[in-house]
Structure 1
Amino acid sequence: MPPIILAGLVLSLASWGMLAAAAYLLWSWYQGSWVMDAYDVSHHVREHWRLWTALALLAWSCLGRLVLTPLLTKADEDPTRAERGEHQMIASPTGSNLYVEVHGPADAPTVILTHGWGLDSTIWYYLRRHLSQRFRVIVWDLPGLGRSRAASGSTVDLSHFATDLKALLSLTNGKPAILVGHSIGGMTILTLVRDHPEVLTDQVAGLVLVNTTYINPLKTMVLSPLALALRWPVLEPVFRLAIWLQPLAWLGAWQSYLSGSAHMANRIGFASQVTRSQLEQTTLLATRNPPAASARGNLAMFRWDAHDAIVKASVPCLILAGDKDIVTKQEASEHIAGQAPFASLRVIDDANHMGFLERSEAYNEEIARFCELNLVTRAGRGVQEPVPTLA
């Protein structure tokens, strides 16, 4: 999520600067200064404002999130939860071990949810809960994130993720499934369509692309020219340093989390409806995932292109966009919908990149209706050919 990454870099530097200022003030307070009184007697004097200012900065560095989170969000009526359930580990042909959970009735049609980058499958709490009343819902962690283990750093990219997703289709009891992906999850689905179009013949009943793009995300975000200009001199070196210096990068990430700087950065991925639990979970997941894996995934996205992949999609597609999405602008979803043979585009009001959380009711309703139409109604009528959906 490039805008959040850029904001995170700036705020992280500010957070480190706060610590540096606190250290300097403590040192200068301890050192003090020598002054001469009227009797030519020297006295060691410490300026106590330096001590109190340093302690205040240290306190903010450790507890700032407790102050900032309520200021940045609304109170929760239905808190999201990072719940885990019974799981299995699936060996992928890529060599990665995939953490997978299955929810809902065992004999129901299957929906597979693929989360966005920097997160894990627990982010699907609202949608998983909603769909599992009617469908068999499979959630999984992308390799390198959550509890999935990548075979190596070289397997943390879109082509390998698509192969991992293809492996999960073996869990659908031989019936076509709906694939739902948010952000890089949607990019993974597009890569699957590009690289393995044969799965659309009888393994996939439909695609749902949530706030996603079709090309290097630096090209479809706000301030795209600036982001592209910063790619080589700033972003690429920073991500490579995060890989080489992961312990230091992780320390910085946790310091930003405690100070609230990370919360401020992640807040820009939401519109006006975000609640405390939603911002907290998003920020916590982004913080505790390994910086090296996150960096490799970001670098892989910069080299990714599937601009015409959706043309191969011979199944119905639902494209969901947020009207306030600054991470993946609405135009990206319009481009995908314009190329897909059987697509519907829905733009959700007052929704940013994390709209599926803050506007969960609207997103859940659209996705459930699409799944009902393409997994239940069409199957019950024996319809085989794709039809335009949700016209």
Structure 2
Amino acid sequence: MPLLVLFRFVFMLVSLCVFGVAAYLLWNWYDGDLIRQADGDIVRVRTGWFLWAGVGLLGLSFFGRPIITPFLAKPDTDPTAAVRDEGQFVAGASGSKLYVEQLGSPAAPPIILVHGWAMDSTIWFYAKRDLARSFRVICWDLPGMGQSTPASPSAIGLTEFAQDLRTVIGLAGERKIVLVGHSIGGMTIQTLARDDPAFFDAYVAGTVLVNTTYTNPLKTMILSGLAQAIRWPLLEPLMRLAIALQPLVWLSAWQSYLSGTAHMANRLGFGKYVTRSQLEHTTLLSTRNSPGNIDRGNLAMFRWDATHAMARVTPPLLVLSGEIDIVTKPQAGRQIAADRGDTIHLAIEGANHMGFLERSADYNRAIADFAQSLQPTP
């Protein structure tokens, strides 16, 4: 989502400043001062604290992550990790190459998980484990993220994602499916409902929208007025510049990851329950995914709207919001629910935008109960 990308950019600049100060101090130590002694000889005098301060800041720039992260998150009792199960590649309807994983019994009711932006399908670590006990879980990487590749850089957009979602739905066979989407994943689902409601009604048993919005996310985040005001003069030019300078931006992103400042940025997307592995998992994915692709997706979100889309389709709808979500405020979820009237809306206590990780038991239980009510399993 654009807000977290902006946080990461700011903290990346902080990390580069620390590195720059370290380089400045080390150069000043090496260069020293030329002093003429009483006998006429000129000697170079170096200031010792320049060396130690420079070495300390340089070390923090590349090895700060294990020092900083313990202050940002709790120890783990159930660690997550960016690991994959056995998957396959399929051709997407938009011309993309999609990486898809399937878990659980093939005979069980199918659930399709659609992840948020700058992430990949490994972010569903807890959901895959918990839901696969009772359901056939299908998860995939959105084009441009993880192992999925778009037909072209210009094909990174919500319309193309919705076309590819049709392809993934087709993998479920004849049974209707339950769709679960977080953030841009929920926006992808709404795009499919907006663009092809007949298909949606025919193949979808129910939908769960997780911490998402119904329109340009700049309008439903905190400080939305400021965000919209700086969109054209600042946000869009910065993102287009980052796309043009992707190798340098990627290198800077990894330096920020190593220093721990990237973890500080991603910490803003969590509440008080976040653990160290959850913060590490999220930060790793947002760093190793292409920054150019991330910014192309953000620009596409700025031009997106699916207001009232879910009111045009009939499958039951569950909307889950983080009570303290700053990226897509819970008011956005309430608005989606209000459009339908018959929709269940739950605000998860203490959950921020990445609440489905830090409060995974609550989110997964709500998803499982909803899916079970639609397609009972033994």
Q: Same fold (TM over 0.5)?
A: yes
1:295 and 2:282 matched: no
Aligned to 1:199: 199
What's the counterpart of residue 152 of structure 1? 152
Distance across 1 between alignment mates of 2:202 and 2:110: 13
The residue aligned with 1:357 is 357
Aligned to 2:258: 258
Give the AA of the match of 2:67: V
Letter in 2 for 1:316: P
Amino acid at match of 2:6: L
For the residues of structure 2 that align with 1:219 and 1:336, how far apart are their CA atoms? Answer: 14
Q: Is the 8 A contact 1:178 1:375 kept in 2?
A: no
Counterpart for residue 138 of structure 2: 138
RMSD: 1.2
CA distance in 2, matches of 1:38, 1:225: 66
> Distance between the aligned counterparts of 1:313 and 1:202, measured in 2?
10
Amino acid at match of 1:305: D
Whichever residue aligns with residue 261 of structure 1, its letter is T
Q: Distance in 2 between the 1:9 and 1:235 partners?
A: 11
Partner of 1:221: 221
Cα displacement (A) at 1:41: 3.8
Change (3 A) 1:184 1:217: same
- The amino acid across from 2:79 in the alignment is P
| Alignment match, 2:55 | 55
Work out the CA distance in 1 between the residues paired with 2:142 and 2:128.
17
Shift of the alpha carbon at 1:283?
Answer: 0.1
- Secondary structure of the equivalent of 2:30? helix
Q: Distance in 2 between matches of 1:352 and 1:2?
A: 15
Answering whether residue 345 of structure 2 is matched by residue 338 of structure 1, we say no
TM-score norm. by structure 2 comes to 0.98
Which amino acid is 2:56 matched to? Answer: A
Post-superposition offset of 1:342: 3.3
| Alpha-carbon distance in structure 1 between the residues aligned to 2:82 and 2:7 | 25
- Are residue 280 (structure 1) and residue 283 (structure 2) matched? no
User: Are the equivalent residues in 2 in contact too, given 1:314–1:342 (CA < 8 A)?
Assistant: no
1:341 positional shift = 4.6
How far residue 39 of structure 1 moved from its aligned partner, in angstroms, is 4.2
- Asked if the contact 1:111/1:179 (under 8 Å) is kept, the reply is yes
Secondary structure at the aligned position of 1:376 is classed as coil
Deviation at 1:231, TM superposition (A): 1.2
| 2:17 equivalent in structure 1 | 17
Q: What are the superposed Cα offsets for residues 193-217 of structure 1, whole Å, 9 maximum, x if unpaired? A: 0001112332100000000000010
Equivalence for 1:190: 190
Amino acid at match of 1:239: M
* Structure 2 residue identity aligned to 1:232: W
Task: Measure the CA separation in 2 of the matches of 1:371 and 1:215.
Answer: 26
Please give the alpha-carbon distance, in whole angstroms, between the structure 2 residues aligned to 1:301 and 1:108: 34
SS at the partner of 1:138?
A: strand
Please show how residues 71-82 of structure 1 align to structure 2 within 5 Å.
71-82=71-82
Shift of 1:38: 4.1
Q: What pairs up with 1:233-248 in 2 under 5 angstroms?
A: 233-248=233-248
Q: Distance in 2 between matches of 1:366 and 1:299?
A: 32
Partner of 1:230: 230
CA–CA distance in 1 between the matches of 2:3 and 2:176?
36
Quote the sequence identity (%). Answer: 54
Displacement after TM superposition at 1:313 (Å): 2.1
| Deviation sequence 1:340-389 (CA, Å, 0-9, x none) | 25310001001000000000011011000001001227xx9xxxxxxxxx
Q: Which residues of structure 2 form unaligned runs of 5+?
A: none
Q: Which runs of 4+ in 1 moved over 6 A?
A: none
How far apart in 2 are the matches of 1:214 and 1:344?
A: 16
Q: What's the counterpart of residue 106 of structure 2?
A: 106
Give distance in 1, aligned partners of 2:227 and 2:87.
39
Task: Normalising by structure 1, report the TM-score.
Answer: 0.95
Matched residue type, 2:329: K
Measured after TM superposition, the shift of residue 17 of structure 1 is 0.9
Letter aligned with residue 178 of structure 2: I
State the distance in 2 between where 1:318 and 1:180 align.
9
- Aligned residue identity for 1:310: M
Describe the SS at the equivalent of 2:147.
coil
Q: Is the contact made by 1:177 and 1:375 (CA closer than 8 Å) also made in structure 2?
A: no
> Cα offset for 1:40?
4.4
Shifted more, 200-209 versus 267-276: the winner is 200-209
Preserved contact between residue 29 and residue 48 of structure 1 (Cα < 8 Å): yes
